[in-house]
A and B are shown apart, each in its own frame.
Chain A
Amino acid sequence: MKQVFKRPATLKDVPFHFCPGCHHGLIHRLVAEAIDAYDLREKTICAASVGCSVFMYDYFAVDVCESPHGRAAAVATGIKRALPDRFVFTYQGDGDLAALGIAEGIHAAHRGEKFTIIFVNNAVYGMTGGQMAPTTLLGQTTTTSPFGREPQREGYPFRMAELMALAAGTAFSARVAVNNPKNLMQAKKVLKRAFEAQLNGEGFSFVEFLSSCPTNWKMSPEQANRRVGEEMARQFPLGIYKDISSEGGRPER
Chain B
Amino acid sequence: MSSPKMELVNGNEAIARGAIAAGCKFYFGYPITPQNEIPEYLSKHLPEVGGTFIQAESEIASVNMLLGAGATGARAMTSSSSPGISLKQEGISYLAGSEIPGVIVNMSRSGPGLGGISPSQGDYFQATRGGGHGDYRTLVLAPFSVQENYDLTALAFDLADKYRNPVVILADALLGQMKEPIILRPVTPQSFDKSWALTGAKGRPPQFLKSLYLNEGDLTRHNWKLFQKYQQMKAEIRFETDLTDDARMVVVAFGSVARIIKTSIRMAREEGMQVGLFRPITLFPYPEEALFRLSQKVDHFFVVELNTGQMVEDVKLSVDKGARVDFYGRPPGSIPTPDDLLEEIRKVY
B98: contacting residue among A63, A66, A78, A82, CB under 8 A: A66
Q: Does A250 contact B (CB under 8 A)?
A: no
Q: Are A78 and B206 in contact (CB under 8 A)?
A: no
Chain B: minimal CB distance from A93 (Å): 15
- Measured between beta carbons, the chain A residues less than 8 angstroms from B25 are 82
- Which residue of chain A is the closest to B62 with respect to CB atoms? A74
Q: Are A67 and B72 in contact (CB under 8 A)?
A: no
In the complex, what distance in Å separates the CA atom of A105 from the CA atom of B67?
16
CB-CB under 8 A for A75 and B67, given A103-B57, A104-B57? yes
CB contacts under 8 Å to A, within B39-74, are: 52, 54, 56-58, 60-62, 64-72, 74
B201: contacting residue among A42, A54, A76, A77, CB under 8 A: A42
A-B interface pairs (CB < 8 A), number: 135
Q: Does B26 contact A (CB under 8 A)?
A: yes
Q: Does B28 contact A (CB under 8 A)?
A: yes
Q: Are A81 and B26 in contact (CB under 8 A)?
A: yes
Q: Does B94 contact A (CB under 8 A)?
A: yes
- Measured between beta carbons, the chain A residues less than 8 angstroms from B211 are 66
Chain B: minimal CB distance from A130 (Å): 20
CB contacts under 8 Å to B, within A78-129, are: 78-83, 86-87, 103-104, 107, 111
- Measured between beta carbons, the chain A residues less than 8 angstroms from B206 are 57, 60-64
B64: contacting residue among A57, A62, A83, A104, CB under 8 A: A104
Chain A: minimal CB distance from B51 (Å): 10
Q: Are A66 and B65 in contact (CB under 8 A)?
A: no
Q: Are B61 and A104 in contact (CB under 8 A)?
A: yes
Binds B, one of A43-51, A159-167, A175-183, A188-196: A43-51
- Write out, one digit per residue, whether chain B residues 97-141 have a CB within 8 A of any chain A CB (1) or not (0): 010000000000000000000000000000000000000000000
Q: Does B180 contact A (CB under 8 A)?
A: no
CB contacts under 8 Å to B, within A124-169, are: none
In the complex, what distance in Å separates the CA atom of A66 from the CA atom of B200?
15
CB contacts under 8 Å to A, within B270-303, are: none
Q: Are B94 and A78 in contact (CB under 8 A)?
A: no
Q: Does B5 contact A (CB under 8 A)?
A: no
Q: Are B61 and A74 in contact (CB under 8 A)?
A: yes
In the complex, what distance in Å separates the CA atom of A42 from the CA atom of B198?
11
- Measured between beta carbons, the chain B residues less than 8 angstroms from A57 are 206, 208, 210
Q: Count residues on chain A whose CB falls below 8 Å from chain B CBs.
A: 35
- Measured between beta carbons, the chain A residues less than 8 angstroms from B65 are 74-75, 77-78, 81
Q: Does A41 contact B (CB under 8 A)?
A: yes
Chain A: minimal CB distance from B70 (Å): 7
B208: contacting residue among A66, A104, A111, CB under 8 A: A66
Q: Does A242 contact B (CB under 8 A)?
A: no
Chain A: minimal CB distance from B263 (Å): 43
Q: Are A67 and B67 in contact (CB under 8 A)?
A: yes
CB-CB under 8 A for A81 and B69, given A103-B58, A107-B56? yes
A45: contacting residue among B58, B61, B72, B76, CB under 8 A: B72
Q: Does A20 contact B (CB under 8 A)?
A: no
In the complex, what distance in Å separates the CA atom of A44 from the CA atom of B202?
9
In the complex, what distance in Å separates the CA atom of A60 from the CA atom of B198?
14
Q: Are A82 and B208 in contact (CB under 8 A)?
A: no
Q: Are B208 and A68 in contact (CB under 8 A)?
A: no
In the complex, what distance in Å separates the CA atom of A62 from the CA atom of B199?
10
Q: Are B71 and A65 in contact (CB under 8 A)?
A: yes
CB-CB under 8 A for A74 and B68, given A43-B200, A63-B199, A82-B74? yes
> Which residues of A line the B interface, CB within 8 A?
41-45, 47-48, 54, 57, 60-68, 71, 74-83, 86-87, 103-104, 107, 111
User: Nearest 7 A-B pairs (CB), nearest first?
Assistant: A78-B68, A74-B64, A78-B69, A66-B210, A78-B65, A57-B208, A75-B68
**What are 21 A-B pairs at a CB distance below 8 A?**
A44-B200, A44-B201, A48-B210, A57-B208, A60-B206, A62-B201, A66-B98, A68-B64, A68-B94, A74-B61, A75-B65, A77-B68, A78-B71, A79-B69, A81-B26, A81-B52, A83-B200, A86-B200, A103-B58, A104-B57, A104-B60
